[in-house]
Amino acid sequence: MNFESQISRPSWLLLGSEPMRAATEYLTHRLQRWQIKPPLQGDGHPVIVFPGLATDGVPVTPLVDHCRALGYTAMDWGRGFNTGPGADLDAWLQGLAEELRCTLRASGDSTKAPAPTLIGWSLGGLYARELAKLPGFDVRQVITIGTPFNGSPGQTHAGWLYKRLNGSPADLSHALQQRLKRPPPVPTTSIYSRTDGIVAWQACRHDMQSARVQDIEVKGSHLGMGWNPSVLRLVADRLVQPERGWQRHGSTA
């Protein structure tokens, strides 16, 4: 029997508690941000944050502000409301990559901006991973937050929303599922939660870990991951990794 087929979407109890848990995490974030000294300041390299399905730059504002406070040139993806990539994924990704190249060149001091870190929340994490696989689009590292790259639409509670926004369900062929589960050729971190009420946590883990691929568990909701204090601390830890000396979280030199 296929193990993947045994993974079910989160319970209705977890799903129903998402708004309250996310609100609690936001309140905790607001209280703690004045009490905790910022970690080691960053090197200023660009950070691009991709929002989840049916959201825009507003929900990722705490995450963008956090990265800016750490000393990075952080921004959201610049496309507003995320309704999904459309039918032609490859053409859509190429268009997004070109837009981001222009944005990075405009925000840098030279024609060639430093390679960015891509951070994606939920569906936005799939964009980050696939962009990092494109030839000619230099990426420093990828960080995904609650992103179900290793599963199927049936393992999330977001399928109905995608269908409502696009008029048809997400079409993930076996070939596309195999493609999405392959990690990018750059350091990649997946942050996930077993108490995620939107996507199955198993779908947010790689089949194999390696020297530059790591899955890290936190406790929290799906809707509150963008301001969850544990997630923000992990993002800070990952961003400060040197470009040519990235180490897995918890490793010692």
What CATH number corresponds to the domain at position 96? 3.40.50.1820
Supply the DSSP string of 12-81, one letter for each residue: HHHHHTHHHHHHHHHHHHHHHTTTS---S-----EEEEE--TT--TTTTHHHHHHHHHTT-EEEE-SS-S
Within-domain flag for 12: no
- Residue 249 within any structural domain of the chain: no
For the whole model, what pTM was predicted? 0.92
Q: Is residue 72 part of a domain?
A: yes
Is residue 148 in a domain? yes
- Within a domain: residue 81? yes
Tell me the three state secondary structure of residue 120: strand
Q: What is residue 7's predicted lDDT score, i.e. its pLDDT?
A: 84
Question: Do the domain assignments include residue 250?
Answer: no
The answer to whether residue 16 is domain-embedded is: no
Residue 35 is predicted with a pLDDT of 56
At residue 119, the pLDDT reads 98
205 within domain boundaries:
yes
Give per-residue pLDDT as tens, 32-84: 875 555 556 789 999 999 999 989 999 999 999 999 999 999 999 999 999 98
pLDDT in tens, 85-133: 878 899 999 999 999 999 998 876 555 678 999 999 999 999 999 999 9
In the chain, count H helices and then E strands.
8, 6
Minimal CA–CA distance to 54: which of 128, 169, 171, 158? 158
The domain tally of the chain equals 1
What average pLDDT does the segment 182-198 reach?
97
Q: Which domain holds residue 188?
A: 21-239
